[in-house]
A = this chain, B = another copy of it.
Amino acid sequence: MELIDGNAIAESVLTQIAAEVAKISGRRPAVAFVRVGEDPASVSYVAKKQKTAAQVGMTSRLEIFPESMTQADLLAKIDSLNRDPQVDGILVQSPLPKHMDETAVFNHVHADKDVDGFNTLNIGKLVQEDPSGFVACTPAGIVELIRRSKVETDGRHVVVVGRSLIVGKPVGLLLLQKGLPGNATVTFCHSRTRDLPAIARTADILIAAIGRPRFITADMVKEGSTVIDVGINRVPDGSKKSGYRIVGDVDFDAVAPRTARITPVPGGVGPMTVAMLMSNTLKAWKKRHG
């Protein structure tokens, strides 16, 4: 069993991006973050993204608004970022306050600045296999992990557990695309699936994105397969200062010995998500600079 080291792979992606950015004379790629409210996880995620942007030589900006803000006001702020020639990419941090419609807000980000890949047009391009679009960072990061770990996908069976718009559907669609990594046979399972263990056991590559701690147990995993764990779940842990720890959707200790390769949580998919955000921002900059 080999651990897929998301931290190391993300670092090498970021090093390449930093080298490209360093060659830019004139205005560097710039990403604008929009945060509404003070959700502690959001505060921490955005801080991490800003730090990474600085690390690769990009500029970033953070606009913070109160949770009481109206959706109309937020859309107006996004309009002004859409128009701003100094801004290449825009990321509106999820979750938004309950009185807002996230899909409507995310769709308001101009497709050419949609570094989060949540705009309907970019999702359509993914299905159409049109490389001009932006792919959401987590699925793009999973494919990059697979590519750089040299996991074969051609004709192999990928089973995606979870059908979310953010991870499950796009990652399956990416691996179904013509070309490599891609050309996989792809199965989407979810909470309604009958006999999920039997289907999961046929996977050459199992992608767990269902959001339930240690849902994937050893009996669901084929010997010698690759397991990608997208889960980030908090479970109580009295030995931790915070009172909890983070576990994935995979019962790592039991599953890992059966696999050829597996991603840990943390340190697997997570770091790739931030790296792909930087990759998307560089792509957005290139779109604006011909």
Contact = CB atoms under 8 A, between A and B. Distances in A.
Contacts of A120: 121, 124-125, 128, 130
Interface stretch (A43-51, A153-161, A281-289): A153-161
Interface string A118-136: 0111111111111000000
A217 interface: no
Contacts of A199: 157, 185
Contacts of A189: 185
A186 B194 CA distance: 12
Interface residues of A, number: 37
A156 B195 CA distance: 10
A208 to B, nearest CB: 15
Nearest to A125: B120
A193 B185 contact: yes
A188 to B, nearest CB: 5
Contact of A128 (B129, B165, B187, B188): B165
A25 interface: no
Contacts of A163: 176, 178
Nearest to A204: B194
A173 interface: yes
A186 B185 contact: no
Given A103-B128, A165-B128, A188-B185, A194 B123 contact: no
Contacts of A148: none
Interface in A107-152: 119-130
Interface in A163-184: 163, 165, 169-170, 172-173, 176, 178, 183-184
A193 B169 CA distance: 19
A190 interface: yes
Contacts of A188: 172, 176, 185-187
Given A103-B130, A120-B125, A155 B193 contact: yes
A89 to B, nearest CB: 19
Contacts of A193: 155, 185
9 contacts: A121-B121, A122-B124, A123-B128, A127-B165, A127-B169, A128-B165, A156-B194, A157-B194, A186-B187
Closest 4 CB pairs of A and B: A124-B124, A120-B124, A123-B124, A187-B187
Interface of A: 103, 119-130, 154-157, 163, 165, 169-170, 172-173, 176, 178, 183-190, 192-194, 199
